[in-house]
Amino acid sequence: MGVHCATRSLVMAAVLVVAASSLTGAQSTGPAKGKSSAAAFTAPRTPWGDPDLQGTYTNKDESGIPMEKPDGLSTRNNDQLEDSEFAEIVRQRNQQTAERAPLAGGVTGAGPTHWYENYNAKNSRLFLVVDPPDGKIPPETADAKRRAQARADARRGRGEADSWEDRSLYDRCISLSVPGSMTPKIYGNSYEIVQSPGYVAIRYEMVHETRVIPLDRRPHVGDVIRGYMGDARGWFDGNALVVETTNFNPNVNNRGASDSLRLVERFTPVGPNTVEWSVTYDDAKTWTKPWTFEMRLTRDDTQAIFEYACHEGNYGLRNILSAARAEERAAGK
């Protein structure tokens, strides 16, 4: 996304080039093996008594995991695969990541490949969707299909870069919303959790947004107030931090969800440096039933949250639009 922080590229260059060179030797940590570890681990407490989740986390090792269960896995789930089979799947994913990397930045100008953090990912699972048990996102409702057709009709005759408004909020350096800010990207995969009495804040490296989440069970804001990150409310359920988010801005294209979308996240510490994060999509206007996906967050307090200087020197969006105009002139000739 344009010319990002130069300091970031210098710091990451040596580390990531080495990672890329050793790609085929990737070692997996093995697929997720259920929730017994979550029940056994007791998180430390803050001075005021809440479970202490504070620290800097990364999701980069979850890069490359498909959202839904691949059809070739038949009836197997995340708990039913030999370690050697799982390691081979992860090795193939990492190889594909390396092959795609030179193309990834070509679309938006996302920088040189030595910035990228998703090489050599040590995946924790085979796929992300855990509910329904078949690992597939539930079918869309008739209303969801109608809305999708209406959006397509409204765009008929337009190109992908007729205007800056045709590009995503991400292309425009505005927002990745939720859960987009939580899921792996080619870089910028760190976030910091900070707690105080009555509040939890999550600061994201990618797009550099911050969510401030009150824990006092106050009601959500009125329906007319809509934000790119939605309106979040949180509470603790045992060790786990639960966050319910509603009131999303309609320009957030969250898998075609309606304005009734309700997201419920759970941050469950399962070890001193590991959190299992899940998010449930609850939107009866869009899917026939709620569905959930999850992934692993790894704490690494040596990893700084770097500046996300997307607007400063951002040639990506300008070049996307100017290239589209050049193509039109060429077609006209």
Q: What b/e sequence results for 133-169 when a residue is b if at least 16 CB atoms lie within 10 Å of its CB, and e otherwise?
A: eebeebebbeebeebeeeeeeeeeeeeebeeeeebeb
Write out pLDDT tens, residues 32-47: 554 445 568 999 999 9
**Which has the minimum average pLDDT: 148-152, 264-268, 314-318?**
314-318
Cα–Cα distance, 77 to 134 (Å, whole number):
8
Name the residue ranges covered by the structural domains of the chain.
Answer: 38-74+129-332
| pLDDT for position 93 | 85
Mean pLDDT, range 61-89, rounded to an integer = 79
Tokens read off for 294: 């999850």
Write out pLDDT tens, residues 260-282: 999 999 999 999 999 999 999 99
* Contact of 16 with 111, CB cutoff 8 Å: no
* Contact of 105 with 187, CB cutoff 8 Å: no
| pLDDT for position 28 | 42
Residue with tokens 């008594």: 49
Cα–Cα distance, 244 to 215 (Å, whole number):
11
| pLDDT for position 80 | 62
* Contact of 182 with 59, CB cutoff 8 Å: yes
Cα–Cα distance, 27 to 30 (Å, whole number):
9
Mean pLDDT, range 300-307, rounded to an integer = 86
Q: With bands split at pLDDT 50, 70 and 90, how would you rate the model's confidence at 15?
A: very low
Mean pLDDT, range 213-227, rounded to an integer = 97
Write out pLDDT tens, residues 151-186: 999 989 888 999 988 999 988 889 999 999 999 988
pLDDT value at 242 more than 80: yes
Q: With bands split at pLDDT 50, 70 and 90, how would you rate the model's confidence at 119?
A: confident
pLDDT value at 133 more than 60: yes
pLDDT value at 228 more than 70: yes
Strand ranges for 81-155 from DSSP E: 129-131
CA torsion angle for 296, 263, 211, 315 (degrees, to 10)? 80
